[in-house]
Amino acid sequence: MKLIVLLLSGIVFCSAVFPTQDDELAKSIERGKMVYSENCISCHMGTGEGVTATFPPLAKSDYFMENPENGIKAVKFGLMGKIKVNGVEYDNMMPSPGLGNDEIADVMNYIMNSWGNSSEKKMITEKMVEAVEEKK
């Protein structure tokens, strides 16, 4: 019995001391929700559906989910010119919201895990955002 109690105590201690990626992803998603609410919601709407032919959807977006680097670039540098999302062409301008790499990673994780999107527990990190460069 003492062995079981000791083993369970060790598991609880380790889970508290060594957070898993799932915990980190959940925290990032929660922070990203705040970033989204402050910077993105007015155009892309509360459920990520956007406005057809004006602001592209983020919910179930092929443009975004098939290549997350597209989203990172759009948030990091802004976006201008034609893009096609879920078969609909958009030609509008999105200014860079001026977020830090950590905030970009958080909002990306929120978007990639909301409204029917699934990153399959793959996490966008600050270092990944930092590595994305603007095309000249």
Residue 30 lies in a domain: yes
Q: Which domain holds residue 101?
A: 21-131
Using a cut of 0.95, tell me whether the model's pTM lies above it.
no
**SS3 letters across the chain:** CHHHHHHHHHHHHHHHHCCCHHHHHHHHHHHHHHHHHHHCHHHHCCCCCCECCCECCCCCCHHHHCCHHHHHHHHHHCEEEEEEECCEEEEEEECCCCCCHHHHHHHHHHHCCCCCCCCCCCCCCHHHHHHCCCCC
The confidence band for 66, taking pLDDT boundaries of 50, 70 and 90, is: very high
The confidence band for 22, taking pLDDT boundaries of 50, 70 and 90, is: confident
The domain tally of the chain equals 1
- Quick one: pLDDT at residue 13? 55
CATH of the domain at 28: 1.10.760.10
